[in-house]
Structure 1
Amino acid sequence: MKRIGFLSFGHWTPHPDSATQSAADVLLQSIDLAQAAEDLGADGAYFRVHHFARQLASPFPLLAAAGAKTSRIELGTGVIDMRYENPMYMAEDAGAADLISGGRLQLGISRGSPEQVVDGWRYFGYQAAEDDPSGAQAARQKTELLLTLLEGAGFAEPSPRPMFPNPPGLLRLEPHSEGLRERIWWGAGSDATAVWAAQQGMNLMSSTLKDDESGEPFHVQQAKQIRAFREEWAKHDHGFEPRVSVSRSIFAIVDDRDRRYFLGSGDRDDQFGYIDSTRSVFGRSYAGEPDELIDELAHDEAIAEADTVLLTVPNQLGVDYNAHVLEAILTHVAPGLGWR
């Protein structure tokens, strides 16, 4: 059995062929798609976070609104770039959004992906050390602080003359949402960062891109990454069982619209190249008749290792069509793979 959700990058562009012409369009349609996915029986609605781009950026208003409009589906991110974040303020925002949703947030965080601008986090007022030019270490330090804050222990000395009465002892950030600490995921781009996520007690989120560490097919390397994460997790007593998600672009061709959009578009080979001077591998996409997809996906080692599959969706094609994309996978592909 697999949890199945969607992952939206939230693209918008003022083009006549786009169903998302503005930021307002993509935000409101993201909420509608979360509702539609819940109605179809999907398990998760996840949203990408990119700054300085015509895409979704500030996640917590969206997550809170989607949480208020739905009742069951998980709501998450994939991923929030921690270089841009104030962990204190983030803990408050996350706690509030989680409480609005009734404890359904699943927050994917990471160092982030290649940016639209040079060192974008510096425009947000953050600096990295001279020996940390990419901000990777700063992202980890902020993550460690966020995890501590989400545990809910008091740490701040109360004022002797507060405006309102305080509970006894040191104060914590409010609102605090119990259980959110166990629903933080790290977007790992390498085996080493997956191991670090396990050490920190975070779930593992692995997308369609990772460091090329062996030259093997993407799904084989990703499966090894997942196994390294689980092996490290077993060495620690975090008090809960971890989850692992993988992202895939999968399109079942079941009608003429699908044929028009995706017939022949599935990239059947992994792509190898360099991103930010790092040798990387980008996983293939899948598009075909349901029986063909079932056969191909059955050989994906990383999907077999994961408990959650996030389906990337072409959000600019509109809510109705993206709901159709999800329904086609849930109805025609997932049962044949034993995911449902």
Structure 2
Amino acid sequence: MKKIGFLSFGHWSPEPGSHARSAQDVLLQSIDLAVAAEELGADGAYFRVHHFARQLGSPFPLLAAVGARTKTIEIGTAVIDMRYENPLYMAEDAGAADLISQGRLQLGISRGSPEQVIDGWRYFGYQPAEGESDADMARRHAEVFLNVIQGHGFAKPNPRPMFPNPPGPLRIEPHSPGLRERIWWGAGSNATAKWAATLGMNLQSSTLKDDENGKPFHVQQAEQIRTYRETWAEIGHERAPRVSVSRSIFPLIDDRDRMYFGRGGKESDQVGMIDQTRSIFGRGYTGEPERLIEELRGDEGIAEADTLLLTVPNQLGVDYNAHVIEGILKHVAPALGWR
């Protein structure tokens, strides 16, 4: 059994055929797709965060709105780039969104990915400390965030406050109990997966990682997940960790599917250089349900994970993306034992 959700990058453009032609379109449609996915029985609604792009950016207004419109579906990100974040302000936003959704937030954070602009985090007022890389800065921001959402008091209270304070140092408010256990780290290497396990974060392993040994992507991803779980066990965390992977999966069920995806797509791994690091991109899956079932049985990364995030082509509209999700839930997942 696996939890199955969708992952939207939230693109918009005025191009012909796009159902998301503006930022308002993609925000409102993202809420509607989460509602539709919940009605279909999906487990999660996740959103990618990119800055300086015609894509979803600031996530917390959207997460809070989805939380207010839904009742059971998990609501998350994959991922928030911590180079851009004020950890304390983020803790306030995350606490509020989690309380609105009644504890359904699954917050994916990370160092981020290649950007639209050079060193975009500098425009947000952040820069690495002396001797620190931007990745180091992201991890430092993450550690501060993880610390303050635990709910411990740390700030010295004003002896003459406007409103009465509880005794002792003050914490970030609003505080949402349990949120600390629902933070995920998007790891692009085995080393950062081990770091995430050490800090007690869940693992998000996407379709891009460092090419560490030349093996097929899904095999490297499975190895990364096993390394993560081994480290988790060595540390001795009391709870069981969660692990997600993301995939592009499109079953060809009707004429619309064949029109959009009938010619196939990126159905083999790709290797390239990202930030001077050799990286491997995982393949997508497109085909008749029977063919997909057989191919997906051999995906070692999916087999190791407990959560599968389905990347959706959001610009094709809410109705079509709900159809894609339903097709996987009805025609693919049961045969693989995911449902």
**1:294-325 deviation digits (Å, cap 9, x = unpaired):** 00000000100000000000000000000000
Partner SS for 2:309: strand
Query: Superposition pairs for residues 101-250 of structure 1, below 5 Å?
Result: 101-133=101-133, 135-250=134-249
Question: In the alignment, which residue of structure 1 is the partner of 2:73?
Answer: 73
Per the TM alignment, residue 169 of structure 1 is displaced from its structure 2 partner at its CA by 1.0
Instruction: Give the gaps of 5 or more residues in structure 1.
Output: none
* CA drift at 1:16: 2.8
SS of 1:78's equivalent?
A: strand
**Structure 1 residue 131, shift from structure 2 partner:** 3.0
- Give the equivalent residue in structure 2 for 1:262: 261
1:293 aligns with 2:292: yes
What is the distance in 2 between the residues matched to 1:301 and 1:88?
A: 38
How far apart, CA to CA, are the structure 1 residues paired with 2:84 and 2:121?
A: 5
Secondary structure at 2:149 match in 1: helix
- In structure 1, give the amino acid aligned to 2:117: V
Whole-Å separation in 2 of the counterparts to 1:167 and 1:237: 34
Name the counterpart of 2:319. 320
TM-score (norm 1): 0.99
* Equivalent residue number for residue 63 of structure 2: 63
Q: What amino acid maps onto 2:328 in structure 1? A: I
Q: What SS does the corresponding residue of 1:4 show, helix, strand or coil?
A: strand
Structure 1 residue 108, shift from structure 2 partner: 0.3
TM-score after normalising by structure 2: 0.99
* Residue 328 of structure 2 is aligned to residue 329 of structure 1: yes
**Secondary structure, counterpart of 1:151 in structure 2:** coil
* Offset, 1:239: 2.8
Counterpart in the other structure of 2:23: 23
Q: Which is worse superposed, 165-174 or 53-62?
A: 165-174
Counterpart-to-counterpart distance in 2, 1:153 and 1:240: 20
Report how far residue 130 of structure 1 moved: 4.5
Q: Which amino acid aligns with 2:204?
A: M
Residue type of the partner of 1:16?
A: P
Q: Secondary structure at the match of 2:329?
A: helix
2:280 match: secondary structure: strand
Give the SS at the match of 1:46.
strand
Q: Once structures 1 and 2 are overlaid, which stretch shifts more, 244-253 or 268-277?
A: 268-277
Q: What is the deviation of 1:236?
A: 1.7
Task: Give the SS at the match of 2:253.
Answer: coil
- How many angstroms apart in 1 are the aligned matches of 2:99 and 2:309? 24
In 1, the alpha carbon distance for the partners of 2:138 and 2:254 equals 44
Aligned residue in 1 for 2:277: 278
Q: Provide the residue aligned with 2:98 in structure 1.
A: 98
> For the residues of structure 2 that align with 1:132 and 1:212, how far apart are their CA atoms?
24
Given that 1:266 and 1:288 are in contact with CA atoms closer than 8 Å, whether structure 2 keeps it comes out as no
Q: Detail structure 1 runs of 4+ shifted over 6 Å in the superposition.
A: none
2-side partners of 1:248 and 1:28: how far apart?
24
Q: State the percentage of identical aligned residues.
A: 75
Deviation at 1:17, TM superposition (A): 1.3
Aligned amino acid, residue 81 of structure 1: D
Q: CA deviation at 1:132?
A: 3.0
Correspondence for 1:48: 48
SS state at 1:107 partner: strand
Offset of 1:237 from its aligned partner? Answer: 3.1
CA RMSD of aligned residues (A): 0.7
* Amino acid in structure 2 at the alignment position of 1:211: D
